[in-house]
Amino acid sequence: MHDAQQIQTGFVETNGTRIYYEMLGQGHALVLLHGGYMDRRMWDDQFSLLAERYQVIRYDIRGFGKSTLPQRPYADRDDLYACCAFLAFRRHTCLGSLWAARSPWILRSSILSWSML
């Protein structure tokens, strides 16, 4: 990774809450989705490495990390869509948990992971 690259951070306001995100790199959009009881930091070891080839976003799902708790009913897929729309991702690939499979209108491809360990 080039030292000149800076991690872009911020919040997306959607459906009554603030979703914290981090973005780095250039190229095809790759969204990293964390598993339950974790936050975006589960991707610390991969974030910079993947940003060498992709424009990578990782965010905290509602109630995790720096994102605020839900105040009303919501759908995780709508938050994913709001983040991608805010960051102008027309199509993206998701890497992570089952949330990745729930945004087919902008999903380019998905790599799903789940472990019982």
The pLDDT of residue 97 is 67
Average pLDDT value over all residues in the chain: 82
Please enumerate, as own/partner, the contacts of 70-77 that have beta carbons within 8 Å and a separation of 24 or more.
70/16, 70/17, 71/16, 71/17, 72/15, 72/16, 74/15, 74/16, 74/17, 75/102, 76/102, 77/102, 77/103
Which position has the token pair 């800076």?
6
Domain that holds residue 25: 8-112
Residue 3 lies in a domain: no
Residue 54 falls inside a structural domain: yes
Question: CB burial class (10 A; 0-12, 13-18, 19+) of residue 42?
Answer: middle
Residues 57-107 have pLDDT tens digits of 999 999 999 999 888 888 888 888 899 899 988 778 888 765 544 544 444
Give me the number of domains the chain comprises.
Answer: 1
Residue 117 located in a structural domain: no
pTM for the whole structure: 0.81
| CATH number of the CATH domain containing 96 | 3.40.50.1820
